[in-house]
Amino acid sequence: MFKTPGTALIVRGVLAIVFGLLILLLPSATAFVVVVMFGVFAIIDGIISVAHYFYDPAGRSRWSMVGGFISIAAGIVAVAWPGFTAAAVGVLIGLWALVLGLSQIVLSLAARSFVRSWGIWFLTGLITTVFGIVVLVNPGLGILGLVAMLAAFAILTGMLLIASGIGLRKLAASPPLFAR
């Protein structure tokens, strides 16, 4: 499934966009549904990140795996305890986005010497981090405001992940810098 380095990012991007669109298409969804949808998204996103870590030794990064395990843990908590999670959904999503965003920033900076489109990856991490901070600072925004922010975040992040993945796929298809 991950034959080129950018495929995992493209799959994660499509998943994020689908998640965002589902939220927008279900405006009457309860906090419970949002929590469960977030949990499923986070688990699948995390599994893809961890799988990519083990599947692609050349593109391996501990930060990618750390972000994957954080996503899986957040998703399991959301699915296992939706009532409790609904009460703390702002804090959970804020913490998840903050830590995931910071790990994406570190990963993009580590890749800047060999990935031309590292800036897009950095921007993805920056947007994710800012989203996390906004949600943590204002957890009382209300579930509808949080739902709208989560949908916008997922769609924008999905588009940026797809752009990063396309850039990495182009890098993989280009001839090596130095002939052996």
pLDDT at residue 148, as a whole number: 80
| DSSP of 55-99 | H-STT--HHHHHHHHHHHHHHHHHHH-HHHHHHTHHHHHHHHHHH
Report the distance separating Cα 115 and Cα 121, nearest Å.
10
Chunked into runs of 10 residues, the chain (180 residues) has average pLDDT values of 78 92 73 82 92 76 86 92 74 85 92 86 92 80 68 91 88 67
Domain boundaries, the chain: 26-170
Report the distance separating Cα 92 and Cα 41, nearest Å.
14
pTM of the model: 0.51
pLDDT at residue 22, as a whole number: 86
Report the distance separating Cα 150 and Cα 166, nearest Å.
24
